[in-house]
C-alpha cells in the first residue's frame, strides 16, 4: 500500500516538492489507521466483522472538559521507600479528562483506599498552589490560560501553578472495590458528579473498532525491566517467541507466561516484525511490505 501510495503521489502534478516521510513513519501511521479493520488480513475476516450486528455499547465523544472523565488505578513496577522506611511497590490512581487528555489529579499510595479516591475528586477541582523550589515558569500566570479573568472568579489562582482545574460532570470507573465503595459514591453525590460504572470487558466491544478502553490503564504485560532487556536482546537475534520463552525459563530462570511475551511483542510499534524477507510479501521493483 505504501508503494502504491507513493506511485499515486508521484503521478500528481500538484505534488511537486512534497517530501515523503520515511518508511518507518508510514508504516506506523498505517498501523494506526488500520487498527481493528483487518485491512491487510483475510477478506473473509473483513466480511465476517462487517456482518456482525451493532453492539449495545460504543464510543462516546467528549466535547468539553469535564464532560467525561475516567478514574482508575494501576500498579507501578517500581519500589518506593515509604515514610516508615519500608520499601514496597505503589499504585498510581489518576483522574483523566477525555476531552483534553490531561491528568486532573494523581495520587501514589501503597494500596489505594476509598479516601484516596475521594481526595482525587477534591484535587481535580482545587488549584494547585506553588511550592518552594518550583520554577516561576510553572505559575498559571505564565501560561496561556486567561489568568486575569480567572483570578476575578477565584482568588486562590493568584499563587496557583499551571495545573488544569476541571470540574467533573461524569466520571466513569470500573468495578474496583475502591470506586464502588459507599465513601466514593457519597463524595461524588456531594459534588454533584454523575458516577457510571463500565460494563464487563466482554460487553463493550465496538462493532467496527477496538474496545473503548481506559486511558488511565494501558494494557501492559507483567514483565519487569530486566526481563524486557533480555527479550529485546533475543529479538535482535531474530529468535521466535517460543524460543525466547524457552530460553527465559531454562537459561535465565525467569518465570513468565508465553502470553505476556506475546503481548509485549505486539505492543512494541518499533519492532521490525516484518523485517525478514518473504517471497509473498515482496512487491515488484520494491522492497516494502504490502
The answer to whether position 101 is within a domain reads: yes
Whether residues 187 and 229 fall in one domain: no
Residue range(s) defining the domain that contains residue 119: 69-125+166-197
57-61, 76-80, 282-286 — which one is most confidently predicted on average?
76-80
Alpha-carbon distance of 240 to 41, in angstroms, equals 21
Whether residues 179 and 111 fall in one domain: yes
Whether residues 229 and 121 fall in one domain: no
Domain harbouring 173, CATH code: 3.30.420.10
Whether residues 118 and 184 fall in one domain: yes
The answer to whether position 111 is within a domain reads: yes
Decide if pLDDT at 103 tops 80: yes
Strand, coil or helix: 207: coil
Average of per-residue pLDDT values in the chain:
76
The answer to whether position 21 is within a domain reads: no
pLDDT, tens digit (0-9, with 9 covering 90-100), for 109-152: 888 888 899 989 988 888 888 888 888 888 888 877 777 787 78
**DSSP secondary structure string for all residues of 222-273:** S--HHHHHHHHHHHHTT--HHHHHHHHHHTS-----HHHHHHHHHT-TTS-T
Whether residues 82 and 171 fall in one domain: yes
- Total domains, the chain: 2
The answer to whether position 250 is within a domain reads: yes
Whether residues 174 and 248 fall in one domain: no
Decide if pLDDT at 251 tops 60: yes
For residue 118, give Cα distances in angstroms to 90, 183, 208, 255.
Answer: 18, 7, 36, 37
Whether residues 180 and 231 fall in one domain: no
Average pLDDT over residues 96-109: 87
Alpha-carbon distance of 9 to 32, in angstroms, equals 21
The answer to whether position 230 is within a domain reads: yes
Report the predicted TM-score, pTM, of the whole model to 2 decimal places: 0.51
The grid coordinates of residue 254 equal: 525467569
Cβ proximity of 107 and 80 under 8 Å: no
pLDDT, tens digit (0-9, with 9 covering 90-100), for 197-222: 876 554 444 443 334 445 555 444 45
Query: Is residue 259 very low, low, confident or very high in pLDDT (cuts 50, 70, 90)?
Result: low
The answer to whether position 88 is within a domain reads: yes
Decide if pLDDT at 108 tops 60: yes
Strand, coil or helix: 81: strand
Task: Classify strands 87-97 and 170-173 as parallel, antiparallel or unpaired.
Answer: unpaired
Amino acid at each position: 500500500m505504501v508503494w502504491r501510495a507513493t506511485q499515486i503521489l508521484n503521478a500528481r502534478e500538484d505534488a511537486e516538492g512534497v517530501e515523503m516521510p520515511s518508511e518507518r513513519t508510514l508504516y506506523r501511521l498505517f498501523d494506526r489507521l488500520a487498527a481493528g479493520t483487518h485491512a491487510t488480513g483475510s477478506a473473509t475476516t473483513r466480511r465476517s466483522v462487517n456482518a456482525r450486528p451493532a453492539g449495545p455499547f460504543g464510543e462516546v465523544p467528549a466535547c468539553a472538559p469535564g464532560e467525561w472523565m475516567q478514574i482508575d488505578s494501576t500498579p507501578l513496577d517500581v519500589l518506593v521507600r515509604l515514610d516508615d522506611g519500608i520499601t514496597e511497590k505503589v499504585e498510581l490512581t489518576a483522574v483523566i479528562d477525555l476531552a483534553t487528555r490531561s491528568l486532573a489529579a494523581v495520587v501514589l499510595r501503597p494500596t489505594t483506599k476509598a479516601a484516596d479516591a475521594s481526595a482525587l475528586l477534591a484535587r481535580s477541582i482545587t488549584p494547585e498552589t506553588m511550592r518552594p523550589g518550583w520554577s516561576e515558569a510553572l505559575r498559571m500566570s505564565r501560561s496561556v490560560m486567561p489568568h486575569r479573568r480567572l483570578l476575578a472568579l477565584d482568588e486562590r489562582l493568584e499563587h496557583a501553578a499551571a495545573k488544569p482545574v476541571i470540574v467533573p460532570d461524569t466520571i466513569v470507573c470500573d468495578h474496583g472495590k475502591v470506586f464502588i465503595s459507599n465513601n466514593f459514591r457519597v463524595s461524588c453525590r456531594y459534588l454533584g458528579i454523575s458516577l457510571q460504572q463500565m460494563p464487563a470487558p466482554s460487553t463493550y466491544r465496538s462493532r467496527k473498532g477496538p474496545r473503548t478502553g481506559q486511558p488511565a490503564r494501558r494494557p501492559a504485560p507483567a514483565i519487569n525491566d530486566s526481563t524486557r532487556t533480555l527479550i529485546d536482546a533475543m529479538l535482535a537475534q531474530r529468535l521466535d517467541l517460543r524460543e525466547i520463552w524457552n530460553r527465559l525459563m531454562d537459561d535465565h530462570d525467569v518465570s513468565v507466561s508465553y502470553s505476556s511475551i506475546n503481548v509485549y511483542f505486539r505492543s512494541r510499534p518499533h519492532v521490525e516484525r516484518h523485517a525478514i524477507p518473504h517471497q509473498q510479501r515482496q512487491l515488484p521493483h520494491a522492497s516494502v511490505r504490502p
